Each structure stands twice: as structure tokens, then as C-alpha cells.
């Protein structure tokens, strides 16, 4: 990914250690947004399929 998109490995290191996990409330709008991004990516041919947002949100996550 890094070479293909010309993104430094340090970016991924920072993202995975400082930004990828954080406590937050997940709303229905958040889950709709996730699926909208994935649907658009599918239409653009970036991905072939995608899961429901509900299936990837931790079952103990705080939800609105």
C-alpha cells in the first residue's frame, strides 16, 4: 500500500499506534456513513463487496 500510493511507512505507524483505536459513541448516522463509503468504493471498482456496518462494530461499543 505504501509504495503503490506513495505514502510513507511512518504514516501507517502513527495511524496504527495513535489514531486507529479510540473510545467513541457510534451512531446510526456513523454506520450509514461507513456503508455509504463502502458502497461508493464498490461502484468505483475499489472493492468487490463489503459487510454491513453493524457486523464490524464491536458488540460492546457504546451506541446512540
Instruction: Confirm whether 2 is domain-assigned.
Output: no
Rounded to whole angstroms, how far apart are CA atoms 21 and 11? 15
Beta carbons of 25 and 63 less than 8 angstroms apart: yes
Tell me the three state secondary structure of residue 12.
helix
Q: How many domains does the chain have?
A: 1
pLDDT digits (tens, 9 = 90+) for 4-60: 888 898 988 888 888 777 778 999 999 999 999 999 999 999 999 999 999 999 899
Q: Kindly tell me if the per-residue pLDDT of 1 is higher than 80.
A: no
The answer to the question of residue 14 being in a domain is no
48 vs 42: CA distance, rounded Å: 6
pTM over 0.75: no
Question: Is position 10 within any domain?
Answer: no
For residues 26 and 34, is the Cβ–Cβ distance under 8 A? no
Amino acid at each position: 500500500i505504501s509504495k503503490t500510493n506513495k505514502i510513507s511507512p511512518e504514516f501507517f505507524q502513527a495511524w496504527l499506534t495513535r489514531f486507529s483505536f479510540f473510545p467513541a459513541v457510534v451512531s446510526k448516522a456513523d454506520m450509514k456513513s461507513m456503508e455509504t463509503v463502502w458502497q461508493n468504493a464498490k461502484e468505483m471498482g475499489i472493492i468487490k463487496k463489503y459487510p454491513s456496518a453493524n457486523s464490524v462494530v464491536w458488540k460492546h461499543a457504546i451506541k446512540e
